[in-house]
Chain A
């Protein structure tokens, strides 16, 4: 078992004929994912590396039984792409596209929720479970099957940390990159119970950033509901107040969402908080050996 994706995951890539879509459809297949279809309106009937391309998501579902979508469609059209996938019955959407207005994401999120669809992202690296499937863009080289679950709000920092876990001789069960936008389809609080229920995950790594209160909310959940050990890291301890650090998720305002408040909340919840990314693997190994001794 794993979290959200497994060997039965059948991916349709929306925007497959664009540069990113083509590249990552190939990389997902190299990972071992069943990429069964692509969708680009107006390009239906063609194929890419043997993957059939359709005009609509509904067609791709009817013809290939696709059950998950990976969206690379440019921001102005991403909302429509997501609504189309939800209406076609897709229940797992990974939205890689960045710079989607949050007003659009509000519509995508609440529509999806009403229809029972889960969105990961937007502006996210996606989800991967080594040896099973990957929906998204996390580099294949960082993975190795194992028992560490990773939930992160970052992109490249996730790769850094997952790669560090591998270099330490450990492996991952499932890794989810949630994305750091103001409105995300799946937050820490949504993802934590999935890992708690996953028999293949023994320890969780939670990677947060300054800004927002998602980490504090996650910490509350950990304290009251989580039995598995958690190792956490919060990026941005040295960030100056008020300066924008790359995207809207990373703004400190009014003393809320600071690194200090997040670290304190996580420590109160019993998580081991690493001060730097390279401290994570040791803390994970420690948590694993303590767990084994229980």
Chain B
């Protein structure tokens, strides 16, 4: 999931012909000042922190300016702020427009219906979660015809638009649908969508791009998500890796088994720390890398719970033994292993020769892991 900052989302909006206020990105107070002085951003203007979290207006991350000097002062006040855990490094300066009404539109995936859904509401400018269901018009969009003219007309009706604004919405929704499909978006949201004079302007942009479509969109590879440094390394190595607060490291394969493992550990009083999902690999090197990554997180104990399918037990055992030899003695930790499934016998034997016992049942192995973390404290 790649969440785009507002200014990146608006770059896409521009590409798909969605009308925007005039604006400019600034990364320093001086850049903010000259954006106004040069006339690129007309006055009065708004200075907005480019962070992913919502609620910027109330949180002091959006300010207004009536002169280049005020824009500079606003930029100085916002840059470097920590907003809901994110450091503000970029600003978007935009002209402040005379708004007569704020609306809402979005397209996202409706998993239950297995169809994209277009949502429109005449109550824009607030969190859509707080808008009453009856005030949100929902239309499922079939990917085959795509978003049709009659669906766009219905949305215009739901938004209460008439006259030239109807035509403006029609073109805007056409662009938004195209963006959703061509950019492999999970979500495109315009909130608020402002009525300005006779037309519409997208005041904000929320765009989330799907990770799995990376092969079609190398341009998004650079954009980082909210990951810790170790999570970032894991991502590069294609290992699902998440850091929690506990002290037991968990290596499992598959999301379901990983979650079940965490559930059982917690039941026995264990606190899972880092967990790492090997996924379906049959490469001992990847197992070794995963294990070394785990060692860097300094867990009190590690619980390895593998059910071999695509990933074979002997592959895991080999990778594990190799990794154990590479971990410096000072960084060693107690290891509880449980490997089942394809090539189980071979895997268990490899571990046994390295002095590691595989405990076959989930309950007992989890209990052993919790005990090991406790004794290591």
Measured CB to CB, the residues of A under 8 A from B are 19-20, 75-76, 98-103, 106-107, 109-111, 125, 137-139, 141-142, 152-160, 163, 180, 182-184, 207, 209-210, 212-214, 217, 233, 235-240, 243-250, 254, 275-278
> Which chain A residues border B256 with CB–CB below 8 Å?
152-158, 180, 207, 209, 235
The verdict on A159 contacting B112 (CB below 8 Å), with A100-B212, A243-B242 known, is no
Q: Which of A76, A138, A235 has the most CB of B within 10 A?
A: A235
A212 to B109, CA, bound (A): 11
Q: Out of B184, B216, B259, B264, which one reaches A250, CB within 8 Å?
A: B259
A163 to B339, CA, bound (A): 13
Please determine whether A236 and B259 come into contact, CB atoms closer than 8 angstroms.
Answer: yes
Q: Which of B96-120 contact A (CB under 8 A)?
A: 109, 111-112, 114-116
Q: Which of B247-293 contact A (CB under 8 A)?
A: 252-260, 262-267, 272, 277, 279-280, 282
Q: Which of B1-37 contact A (CB under 8 A)?
A: 1
Q: Does B341 contact A (CB under 8 A)?
A: yes
Q: Out of A100, A154, A244, A278, which one reaches B257, CB within 8 Å?
A: A154
Please determine whether A101 and B244 come into contact, CB atoms closer than 8 angstroms.
Answer: no
Proximity string of chain B (107-146) to chain A, C-beta cutoff 8 Å, 1 when within and 0 when not: 0010110111000000000000100000000000011100
> Which chain A residues border B362 with CB–CB below 8 Å?
160, 276-278
Measured CB to CB, the residues of B under 8 A from A are 1, 109, 111-112, 114-116, 129, 142-144, 181, 184, 186, 210-213, 215-216, 240, 242, 244, 252-260, 262-267, 272, 277, 279-280, 282, 306-310, 340-342, 344, 361-363
Please determine whether A217 and B253 come into contact, CB atoms closer than 8 angstroms.
Answer: no
A111 to B306, CA, bound (A): 37
B317 to chain A, nearest CB (A): 16
> Which chain A residues border B240 with CB–CB below 8 Å?
244-247
- Provide a sorted-by-A list of 26 A–B residue pairs whose CB atoms are within 8 angstroms: A75-B212, A99-B211, A101-B184, A101-B212, A103-B184, A106-B116, A110-B143, A110-B144, A141-B344, A153-B256, A155-B280, A155-B309, A156-B257, A157-B256, A159-B340, A163-B340, A207-B256, A209-B256, A209-B259, A212-B111, A217-B112, A246-B255, A275-B267, A276-B260, A277-B260, A277-B362
A45 to B303, CA, bound (A): 48
A100 to B184, CA, bound (A): 11
> Which chain B residues border A142 with CB–CB below 8 Å?
341
Interface of B (DSSP majority class): mixed
Please determine whether A141 and B255 come into contact, CB atoms closer than 8 angstroms.
Answer: no
> Which chain B residues border A109 with CB–CB below 8 Å?
114
Please determine whether A101 and B272 come into contact, CB atoms closer than 8 angstroms.
Answer: no
A75 to B238, CA, bound (A): 15
Closest to A111 in B: B144
The verdict on A99 contacting B341 (CB below 8 Å), with A107-B143, A245-B255, A249-B255 known, is no
> Which chain A residues border B340 with CB–CB below 8 Å?
159-160, 163
A99 to B143, CA, bound (A): 20
Closest to B342 in A: A139
Please determine whether B342 and A141 come into contact, CB atoms closer than 8 angstroms.
Answer: yes
A249 to B254, CA, bound (A): 12
> Which chain A residues border B216 with CB–CB below 8 Å?
76, 101
> Which chain B residues border A213 with CB–CB below 8 Å?
111-112
Sample of 7 further A-B pairs with CB below 8 A, known A100-B212, A103-B143: A106-B114, A137-B309, A158-B256, A180-B256, A217-B112, A250-B255, A276-B264
A240 to B252, CA, bound (A): 17
Please determine whether A239 and B341 come into contact, CB atoms closer than 8 angstroms.
Answer: no
The verdict on A239 contacting B363 (CB below 8 Å), with A101-B213, A155-B280, A180-B256 known, is no
Closest to B306 in A: A156
> Which chain B residues border A160 with CB–CB below 8 Å?
257, 260, 307, 340, 362
Please determine whether B111 and A209 come into contact, CB atoms closer than 8 angstroms.
Answer: no
B354 to chain A, nearest CB (A): 23
Closest to B253 in A: A156
> Which chain B residues border A276 with CB–CB below 8 Å?
260, 263-264, 267, 362-363
Please determine whether A20 and B341 come into contact, CB atoms closer than 8 angstroms.
Answer: no
B198 to chain A, nearest CB (A): 34
B296 to chain A, nearest CB (A): 19
> Which chain A residues border B277 with CB–CB below 8 Å?
245-246
> Which chain B residues border A249 with CB–CB below 8 Å?
255
A28 to B279, CA, bound (A): 21
> Which chain A residues border B260 with CB–CB below 8 Å?
157, 160, 233, 235-236, 276-277
Please determine whether B212 and A163 come into contact, CB atoms closer than 8 angstroms.
Answer: no
Closest to B311 in A: A156
A83 to chain B, nearest CB (A): 13
Closest to A240 in B: B244
Closest to A208 in B: B256
Q: Which of A75, A106, A217, A243 has the most CB of B within 10 A?
A: A106
Q: Which of B240, B244, B263 has the most CB of A within 10 A?
A: B263
Please determine whether A156 and B263 come into contact, CB atoms closer than 8 angstroms.
Answer: no
Please determine whether B266 and A238 come into contact, CB atoms closer than 8 angstroms.
Answer: yes
A155 to B310, CA, bound (A): 10
Please determine whether A110 and B263 come into contact, CB atoms closer than 8 angstroms.
Answer: no
A138 to B310, CA, bound (A): 9
The verdict on A235 contacting B263 (CB below 8 Å), with A101-B184, A246-B258, A254-B129 known, is yes
Q: Out of B129, B181, B215, which one reaches A75, CB within 8 Å?
A: B215
> Which chain B residues border A239 with CB–CB below 8 Å?
259, 262
Q: Out of A125, A152, A243, which one reaches B309, CB within 8 Å?
A: A125
Please determine whether B307 and A183 come into contact, CB atoms closer than 8 angstroms.
Answer: no
A269 to chain B, nearest CB (A): 17
The verdict on A139 contacting B309 (CB below 8 Å), with A163-B340, A209-B259, A277-B260 known, is yes
B360 to chain A, nearest CB (A): 9
B44 to chain A, nearest CB (A): 36
Please determine whether B341 and A245 come into contact, CB atoms closer than 8 angstroms.
Answer: no
Q: Which of B115, B212, B262 has the most CB of A within 10 A?
A: B212
Please determine whether B255 and A209 come into contact, CB atoms closer than 8 angstroms.
Answer: yes
A256 to chain B, nearest CB (A): 10
Closest to B183 in A: A103
A248 to B262, CA, bound (A): 18
A141 to B307, CA, bound (A): 11
